[in-house]
Amino acid sequence: MMGRGAGERILDYLRIGRAHTASMEMGFMPLAAYLGGVSPLLLPVLAVLGWIVHVNGFGMNSVTDFVYGFDAADPAKAHHPLPAGRLTVTQAWLFVMATHLAALAGFLLLSRSYCADAALAVYIVAGWWYNIYAKRHKVAGIVSIGVSFASLFLATSMIAGARPSILAIMIAAYMGLYNSIGVMVAGDIKDLTTRSNEVNVMRMLGVRLSGDELTVTRAATAWAVALNMIAAALLTGIAAASRAPWFWVAAIAALAAGSLARYALTLMRPGPFRREWRLKVWGAGQAWSYVLLILAVIPLMWSWLPGAVALFLVVPVTYFYAMNRIMWPRSGSGWAPGV
């Protein structure tokens, strides 16, 4: 039976890789592969690869956040493995490099396309550039994180040798946009509590935190809502490109616009800051943005609907909730990771 010490060490490596949010790659990489003609029977393999890709990329992000001093400037991260001294930087880098090699080997073994390999190279370069350099320069960081996620989706959509469809390109744009929104809206709201000198878009737009009271400007709220409305427009186009009937497209348009606007307004609500509550809103919003994407493309999967619902909805959402409970039992909740 595994001792508590070994179990806690494993959890710390999972925390370094932020494995609780791996459900996104575990869902969108199989989706990209399916759009590119991969058999549904092979999609669970892509879900596993997505998990490895995630803990690698976010593991590097955790290491550089610590090395550059961002974690030291954030009291809420004092309990994380590196700031708390439970893991060394060397151990964390070894984890990052091991998962990097595993992810690269897994993708290349499955790939049947040099175009997919080239798109993967763009993903890797953009990801490394973000973690090593661009995260300290907000505009460069926003661009690179968007390019990275979009390139990963496109690479996976070509893994079987197919050219990316208009639908795959639109989903890649949506993935890139929504991860950029996470950096420059929700992430910057969360980071208002830090003492870091990292450029913060919300601060630039006049948002201020005095004690536990959040003051929000109209410009910041309009910025958050506008970005989410662009995402809603992309979801509407994705539904239309999925050959969905008109009433389904209309329903997705209304649902996406209404729910994403409410998400933005809730996240930007002035008043008591309540960091854990803001994290819960962010986590629920990120999960819902993924659910909206699957709802938009579900007409493509009528022939195997129960399996598609299990693979793309039930497993990722259940995983996200369960891993938050397992990894952050004292500093988070099911919808609010302790980050």
| Tens-digit pLDDT profile for residues 139-169 | 778 889 999 999 999 999 999 999 999 999 9
Half-sphere exposure of 172 (CA within 13 A, CB side): 23
Q: Which of 37-41, 174-178, 190-194 has the lowest mean pLDDT?
A: 190-194
pTM: 0.89
- Domains of the chain, start order: 13-327 (1.10.600)
pLDDT digits (tens, 9 = 90+) for 221-266: 999 999 999 999 999 999 999 989 999 999 999 999 999 999 999 9
Residues 218-252: b if buried by 16+ CB within 10 A, e if exposed: eebbebbbebbebbbebbbbbbbbbebeeebbeeb
**CA gap 39, 110 in Å, rounded:** 13
